[in-house]
Structure 1
Amino acid sequence: MTKNRSLFRCIGLWITLAAVPLLILFFWTQQNLIQTETVEIRSERLPAAFDGFRIVVISDLHGKVFGENNSVLLKKVANLKPDMIAITGDLIEAGEQFAMVPAVASGLAGIAPTYYVTGNHEWNVRRVTELKKILTQCGVTVLTNEFISLERNGQTLVVAGIDDPNGPADQKTLGELENEVETAFKDPFWVLLAHRNDPSRYDSENGADLVLCGHAHGGLIRLPLIGGLIGTDRQLFPKYTSGVWETQWGTQVFISRGLGNVGRTFRLFNRPQLPLVILRAA
């Protein structure tokens, strides 16, 4: 009997010793192994010339570096062959992370036209003007409550960007931006780059056809059949953490699970996400 107990203890010890490195490896992959995902957005309003238009969404990087100078991230972005790259806020969260910005910004801009809007954390750093200047110098188009138009075969796609509400209290409102787009283009198909993940923010008669955003980090820990566990305000089981949601006025809101973590938070069953959004004329 004693021999059997010793044998069981020995087996248990070896199982534990084998499991620990596997658990460490699993945890490492959850924080560092980028997962690409393709999402198709269909709309009868999309101009035919932009059918198949490919947008890579970079959200919530939070100063994280994947490989030297973010070479791993840049290679994965390039492999997706985007027509456009959308950075939807929280590129950094601390002043010491400014050093990583030029490499990733110039790298992305060298792959495809790249557009940026602020998240809440950039404003917390209180150096947004400096950050926007660096991004512009690296070839990134900063959209500060403004819009641009893309042309293909005589047809137009409007891309707009709104600063995070964590910015100045007197900044242009989303409603004002919507009215400007409507006035300039008379009911165009347009894509809005934003940061916050609540679809009700974008539910408007003159709202964008598609909103690209992040902020929720996928709920940090994702549970099978349930989804995200922890919300941005530390509430349990938040609703809007990932995927495509549609507002009452028909705006489709795509929420990226993001790439990085805030402070000491971590991901489980929720690897860093690099989404490719493909526009389809329904």
Structure 2
Amino acid sequence: MAKHSRKHPLRRLAVLAVFLLVLVLFFRWENTSLQITHFDPAFTDLPAGFDGCRIVVLSDLHGAEFGENNEELFQTVADQSPEYIFYLGDLEDKYRGPDPGYAEAVAAGLTAIAPTYYVTGNHEWAIGDVPELKERLAAQGVTVLSNSFVTLERNGDTVVLAGIDDPNGYADQKPPETVAAEVYAAYGDPFWMLLAHRNDRFESQYSLLGADLVLSGHGHGGIIRLPFTDGLLSTDRTLFPSYTAGLYEANGSALFVTRGLGNSGPSFRLWNRPEVAVVTLHRAEA
């Protein structure tokens, strides 16, 4: 009997070690394994030429790498055959600081796949030198939308794509309301989309601008996702935030929020893998 009793503690330690190893591997997988998600918003006023337009939406890399030099990320994006790539801010992380050449490498990798459009997040402004960063991204072929807008053409039809700098930007920057007014002044009542980093400003501000579709990041999917919740924590650590992942609607405007890719500083993800989101636009019957 004494012989068996000596084995039991070793068996328990072995079981505990296996459990901890599985837990560590699962946690690593949750934070480093890319997940492809698909969304199919439909709009009655979408021009027919944009029916089926396929967009990859990325955000919040925070300096992360998926594969050597982000080759896994680029291959995953390329495999989705996007017509456009929208990048919604927080390319780098203020807690780690920018790595030399990182932004240019990401920009070059994405623009080699499809036309890429970018807006700043709060971390770019916290790091500083944003005008210089925008120039470096533009030199790699990225279209930087700084409180401005462009037109996209497909199959003979046109939509407007606007983008606003993060509120962390310069105090005298053009407000979103002015950008929206300029869109209407230039194009009447177009179908238009707005790239805006902060998901938590949608209901109170961005949904009131009149955009048909707002696309945002920033929320990191609520960091920890539990059943029947929209994420457990906001990026400022308030409980049960709204508008953290997927499609929403408020005030006549639709919102898509990507869960993003990386983590800021010492944070982590749980049941919330890094996301490569594919948003396919559809024209709905009136």
Contact 1:65 1:100 in 2 (8 A): no
- What displacement does 1:216 show? 0.6
- What displacement does 1:127 show? 1.2
Please tell me the residue identity of whatever aligns with 1:120.
N
Contact 2:92 2:98 in 1 (8 A): no
- Residue 185 of structure 1 is matched in structure 2 by 187
What stretches of structure 1 of length at least 5 have no aligned partner? none
- Tell me the number of residue pairs that the alignment of Structure 1 and Structure 2 aligns: 280
Rounded Cα–Cα distance in structure 2 between residues aligned with 1:37 and 1:107: 20
Please tell me the residue identity of whatever aligns with 2:115.
P
User: Does 2:198 align with 1:203?
Assistant: no
- What displacement does 1:118 show? 0.3
- What displacement does 1:166 show? 0.5
Rounded Cα–Cα distance in structure 2 between residues aligned with 1:125 and 1:234: 21
Contact 2:104 2:137 in 1 (8 A): yes
Rounded Cα–Cα distance in structure 2 between residues aligned with 1:172 and 1:152: 29
Contact 2:50 2:155 in 1 (8 A): no
User: Does 2:264 align with 1:265?
Assistant: no
TM-score, structure 1 length as denominator? Answer: 0.95
- Residue 222 of structure 2 is matched in structure 1 by 219
- What displacement does 1:3 show? 4.9
Please tell me the residue identity of whatever aligns with 1:22.
V
Contact 1:92 1:98 in 2 (8 A): no
Listed one character per residue, the Cα deviations across residues 212-257 of structure 1 (whole Å, up to 9, x for unaligned) are 1100101111112223111122111112211111112x11111111
- Local SS of the residue matching 1:107: helix
- Residue 78 of structure 1 is matched in structure 2 by 78
Rounded Cα–Cα distance in structure 1 between residues aligned with 2:219 and 2:99: 21
Rounded Cα–Cα distance in structure 1 between residues aligned with 2:223 and 2:170: 28
- Local SS of the residue matching 1:274: strand
Change (3 A) 1:40 1:98: farther
- Local SS of the residue matching 1:227: coil
- Residue 230 of structure 1 is matched in structure 2 by 233
- What displacement does 1:193 show? 0.7
Show the 5 A alignment for 1:266-281. 266-281=268-283
- What displacement does 1:104 show? 1.2
| Runs of 4 or more above 6 Å deviation | none
Rounded Cα–Cα distance in structure 2 between residues aligned with 1:228 and 1:182: 35
Contact 1:150 1:156 in 2 (8 A): yes
CA root-mean-square deviation:
1.4
Q: 1:243 aligns with which of 241, 246, 249?
A: 246
Change (3 A) 1:214 1:224: same
Moved more, 176-185 or 218-227: 218-227
What stretches of structure 2 of length at least 5 have no aligned partner? none
- What displacement does 1:134 show? 0.7
Please tell me the residue identity of whatever aligns with 1:173.
P
Show the 5 A alignment for 1:67-216. 67-94=67-94, 95-198=97-200, 199-200=202-203, 201-204=205-208, 206-216=209-219
User: Does 2:30 align with 1:30?
Assistant: yes
